[in-house]
């Protein structure tokens, strides 16, 4: 059996401001750092001590992982990072206020952009303020696959090669494996693991900073339902994520 832990970054500066974030590299705020620390304490309390951590290349996931690992004395473990674990690229919505977007376009369009499986927001304009296309960290990503917007299906398609090539080998080697990533990149991974339908994943929201524990069999299938290490806090945070944008 293999142990996998998924951890969404703690609250970010833009989560708190209610802005669409995507590939914009904002950090966790004070509350987010506290959530990350608590996440690490939960790992220690549960005896789930990671042997390896995989993160995106965005600082809110990188710093959340480091704070959480520090809190359970595993700050020294092997670390791997990939753009394939990044948040969904939010296209032209990056930097926009969620409540203002909801008011301007209406709830149906807002929810299609936020949660539909296969409809991406409009692409971001090249050279606009929150366009990350030429950021040096993506220099090694072929330009034809470097996104200017993404739907969840696109995220799953770019995350799966990393899952199979980098994460599954660690799980097969019996390493307790932590993935520190983002609301939508983790939704894609959960969809894959739990074999959720395209319709069911619309209702899936991931709380900030609370480790989600999976036991996987040798076919990398969950042996039972995944469990949040603090179910009560997870339920409250899921509700808050769900209602973002609404006044």
Ligand X SMILES: O=C(O)[C@@H](CO)OP(=O)(O)O
Catalog residues that contact ligand X under the rule CB under 6 A.
Answer: 15, 20-22, 87, 90, 114, 183-184, 241, 244
172 is in an annotated binding site: no
Q: Which is nearer to ligand X, 39 or 183 (CB)?
A: 183
127 is in an annotated binding site: no
Query: Quick one: which of 173, 179, 163 has its CA closest to 214?
Result: 179
Which of 35, 41, 78, 87 is the catalytic position? 87
Strands 78-81 and 2-8: what pairing?
A: unpaired
To the query of whether residue 87 is one of the catalytic residues in this protein, the response is yes
41 is in an annotated binding site: no
To the query of whether residue 9 is one of the catalytic residues in this protein, the response is yes
**Residue with nearest beta carbon to ligand X:** 21
Q: Which is nearer to ligand X, 87 or 131 (CB)?
A: 87
C-beta separation of 66 from 39 below 8 A: no
User: Hey, is 214 helix, strand or coil?
Assistant: strand
Q: Which is nearer to ligand X, 24 or 42 (CB)?
A: 24
Written as one string, the DSSP assignment of 64-128 is HHHHHHHHTT-TTSEEEE-GGGSPPP-GGGTT-BHHHHHHHH-HHHHHHHHH-SS-PPPPPPTTS
- The CA-atom distances, in angstroms, between 166 and each of 41, 159, 179 are 26, 11, 11
106 is in an annotated binding site: no
User: Which residues are known binding-site members for substrate?
Assistant: 8-15, 21-22, 60, 87-90, 98, 114-115, 183-184
Q: Which residues are annotated as a binding site?
A: 8-15, 21-22, 60, 87-90, 98, 114-115, 183-184
Catalytic residues: 9, 87
């Amino acid at each position: 059996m293999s142990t996998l832990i998924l951890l969404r970054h703690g609250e970010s500066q833009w989560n708190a401001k209610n802005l669409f974030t995507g590939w914009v590299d904002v950090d966790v705020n004070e509350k987010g750092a506290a959530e990350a620390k608590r996440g690490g304490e939960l790992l220690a309390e549960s005896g789930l001590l990671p042997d390896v951590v995989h993160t995106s290349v965005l600082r809110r996931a990188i710093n959340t992982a480091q704070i959480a690992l520090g809190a359970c004395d595993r700050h020294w473990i092997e670390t791997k990072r990939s753009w394939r674990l990044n948040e969904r690229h939010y296209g032209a919505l990056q930097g926009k206020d969620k409540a203002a977007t909801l008011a301007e376009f209406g709830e149906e369009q807002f929810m299609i952009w936020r949660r539909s499986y296969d409809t991406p927001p409009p692409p971001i304009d090249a050279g606009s303020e929150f366009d990350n296309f030429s950021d040096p960290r993506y220099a090694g990503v072929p330009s034809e696959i470097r996104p200017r917007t993404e739907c969840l299906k696109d995220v799953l398609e770019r995350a799966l090669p990393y899952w199979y090539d980098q994460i599954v080998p660690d799980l097969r080697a019996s390493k307790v494996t932590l993935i520190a990533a983002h609301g939508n990149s983790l939704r894609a991974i959960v969809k894959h693991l739990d074999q959720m339908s395209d319709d069911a994943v619309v209702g899936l929201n991931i709380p900030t900073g609370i480790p989600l524990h999976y036991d996987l069999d040798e076919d990398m299938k969950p042996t039972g339902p995944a469990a949040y290490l603090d179910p009560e806090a997870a339920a409250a945070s899921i509700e808050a994520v769900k209602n973002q944008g609404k006044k």
